[in-house]
């Protein structure tokens, strides 16, 4: 039987670390954060059009964002938009997609990727994906792309690999590590056997389903019940019923960190997950004082290395600041030291408790 390659773009998150630009009503994946004229979702879709046929690209998102996906991706078929009735993290949506695609083509490969990444060298990305698809087609493995670190960074997860090549330069994974402290990140960077976790995973649907059956049997069973409904008119009704039964767990914790057949392929193609303001600052054009400014009427005095994003119509004057994030978005003004940006996610949680969802 022929092998078919499919892509699942995950676009249901709210990007709380990117608040207040990213909000519940319109998360960052639906925004043009770099001023390119294309949203992050549009860039991701176009990137994967070079990897698989467009009709083989699926997007999973929350029910509330269906119109954004439809408007921003006119090429996508309505049947390729998988709508989640509730936010349950990434493991349930991958299990859903693996079952659905298995019903279409049992020999398929499934590539899983977030919708909010930036990749600067798309040619090299395509070459890496070709190697990854070849491995997935011939071996019972789950393969992840590991990014060669360019600096010690506390905003990314890390993957430690075991030296010794598999075919096409992939290595066996020793361990996954969540976002480390700066001192530990420096140790990882200097060791040479740690990579940034890109969150891009590749495997055959058979390997995905086998992994779910072993490590998340409840999730496997939930979606296995719908095998006669997938790709029919009854699919949506089934998903709406069973999604509330799913555990809220990430694909990283639920499967990748538990599986014994995980390989990592080191890669370098100008990657950033745009998960934080620091990652946007690193990509943004800067003035001679190191300020990354978005806003036509920003005037700075004695201000260095700041991330500034404000409306064009507003005059913003900054004096005596260094290493700050300043973001003015509609009804929210955020001013925060750059070295404390990892606290923004907790700040959002605190605001939710104090003010409800009004400002989120």
What size, in residues, is the chain?
360
Q: Residue 181's pLDDT is what?
A: 82
Q: Residue 189's pLDDT is what?
A: 85
- Within a 10 A sphere around the Cβ of 138, how many other Cβ atoms? 11
Q: Residue 1's pLDDT is what?
A: 40
**Rg (Cα) of the chain, in Å, rounded?**
21
The alpha carbon torsion through 244, 179, 14, 145 (nearest 10 deg) reads: -90
Q: Residue 2's pLDDT is what?
A: 46
In 201-328, where does DSSP find H-type helix? 205-215, 217-224, 235-242, 251, 277-283
Q: Residue 360's pLDDT is what?
A: 87
Closest CA to 112 of 38, 198, 22, 17: 198
Q: Residue 345's pLDDT is what?
A: 84
pTM exceeding 0.75: yes
Q: Are strands 194-204 and 109-114 parallel, antiparallel or unpaired?
A: antiparallel
Q: Which residues of the chain have pLDDT under 70?
A: 1-3, 165-167
Tally the C-alpha atoms within 13 A of residue 317's C-alpha that lie toward its C-beta.
0
- Within a 10 A sphere around the Cβ of 340, how many other Cβ atoms? 12
- What the chain holds in terms of domains, given with CATH numbers, is 5-275 (3.90.550.10), 278-355 (no CATH)
Question: Do 26 and 360 meet the contact criterion of CB atoms below 8 Å apart?
Answer: no
Q: Residue 293's pLDDT is what?
A: 93
Q: Residue 166's pLDDT is what?
A: 65
Q: Residue 163's pLDDT is what?
A: 76
């Amino acid at each position: 039987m022929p092998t078919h390659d499919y892509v699942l773009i995950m676009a249901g998150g709210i990007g709380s670390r990117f608040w207040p630009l990213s909000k519940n009503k319109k998360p960052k994946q639906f925004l043009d954060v770099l001023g390119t004229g294309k949203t992050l979702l549009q860039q991701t879709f176009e990137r994967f059009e070079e990897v698989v046929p467009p009709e083989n690209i699926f997007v999973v998102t929350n029910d509330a964002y269906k119109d954004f996906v439809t408007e921003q991706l006119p090429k996508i078929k309505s049947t390729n938009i998988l709508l989640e009735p509730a936010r349950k993290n990434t493991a349930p949506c991958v299990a859903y997609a693996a079952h659905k695609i298995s019903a279409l083509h049992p020999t398929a490969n499934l590539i899983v990727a977030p919708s909010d990444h930036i990749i600067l060298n798309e040619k090299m990305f395509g070459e890496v994906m070709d190697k990854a698809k070849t491995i997935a087609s011939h071996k019972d493995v789950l393969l992840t792309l590991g990014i060669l670190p360019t600096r010690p960074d506390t905003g990314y997860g890390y993957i430690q690999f075991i030296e010794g090549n598999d075919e096409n330069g992939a290595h066996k994974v020793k361990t996954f590590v969540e976002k480390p402290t700066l001192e530990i990140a420096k140790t990882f960077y200097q060791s040479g056997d740690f990579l940034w976790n890109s969150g891009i995973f590749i495997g055959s649907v058979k390997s995905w389903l086998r992994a779910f059956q072993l490590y998340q049997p409840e999730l496997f069973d939930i979606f296995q019940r719908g095998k006669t409904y997938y790709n029919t008119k009854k699919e949506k009704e089934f998903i709406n019923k069973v999604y509330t039964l799913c555990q809220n767990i990430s694909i990283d914790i639920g499967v990748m960190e538990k599986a014994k057949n995980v390989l990592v392929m080191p890669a370098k193609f100008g990657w950033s997950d745009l998960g934080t303001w620091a990652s946007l600052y690193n990509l943004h054009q800067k003035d001679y004082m190191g300020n990354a400014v978005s806003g036509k009427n920003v005037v700075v005095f004695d201000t260095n290395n700041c991330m500034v994003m404000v409306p064009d119509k507003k005059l913003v004057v900054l004096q005596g600041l260094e290493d700050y994030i300043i973001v003015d978005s509609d009804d929210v003004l955020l001013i925060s030291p750059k070295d404390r940006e990892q606290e923004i996610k907790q700040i959002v949680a605190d605001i939710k408790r104090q003010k409800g969802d009004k400002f989120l």
